[in-house]
Amino acid sequence: MPPRKRLSAQDWVDAAYAALGDGGVAAVAVEPLAVRLGTTKGSFYWHFAGRDALLAAALAHWERVETEAVIALGDTQPDRLARMRALLVLALEPPGASVELALQPTADHPLVAPVLRRVTRRRLEYLGTTFRDLGFSPEESERRSLLAYTAYLGHTQLMHATPDLLPDLSGYVDTVVAALTRGGCPTCG
């Protein structure tokens, strides 16, 4: 038998993150993850005090990768409409969207609830800023950011439940951006 690879805490977090997308909070279980990683539970306990610590680390990873990193990439787009388009494309691609959907049924879980609340608030605030940058009033920006976010959540649900019904992502994103920026946007042309 070949020697086992020494796993890092990040290896476990990556596996837990993938498990979140595959089966939600319940899928973040030490024994199945150890099998998936080809190691023993002892490796897990070398890095984490318990399952909750791993779940918290996987949730933090999701927040960093699927919110903060996406926002940072959006900020690299000087054109505001291109930024909106880039945000939607990035948000609608797996695995982040699948993790989002998998977390929704456990939105009241003590570790999940604060992260979901923080992520949702951060995303809505960023979208609101993007709409204000496009020239919408603060009130209209808030409404449109909520509409954009619920479109994202709805698309994510369809991607999970009926992926064969989804249109080409590129054309869809263009339509969504046009709808979200239509009427009252002085800088949208």
E strand or H helix at 187, and its extent?
Answer: none
pLDDT of 2: 53
Give the model's pLDDT for residue 62: 95
Measured between alpha carbons, how far apart are the two ends of the chain, in Å?
A: 65
Task: Provide mean pLDDT across the span 52-77.
Answer: 94
Q: pLDDT digits over 36-57, tens only?
A: 999 999 999 999 999 999 999 9
Confidence check: pLDDT of 170 > 80:
no
Contacts of 89 (CB under 8 A, 6+ apart): 169, 170, 173
Alpha-carbon distance of 116 to 118, in angstroms, equals 6
Give the pLDDT score at 14. 97
Residues 119-134 have a mean pLDDT of 95
Contacts of 118 (CB under 8 A, 6+ apart): 63
Q: How far apart, in whole angstroms, are the C-alpha atoms of residue 22 and residue 102?
A: 8
Distance CA 108, CA 106 (A): 5
* pLDDT tens track for 83-99: 888 888 888 776 657 88
DSSP 163: G
Strand ranges in 18-61 using DSSP code E only, listed in sequence order: none
The Cα–Cα gap between 49 and 42 comes to: 11
pLDDT of residue 128: 96
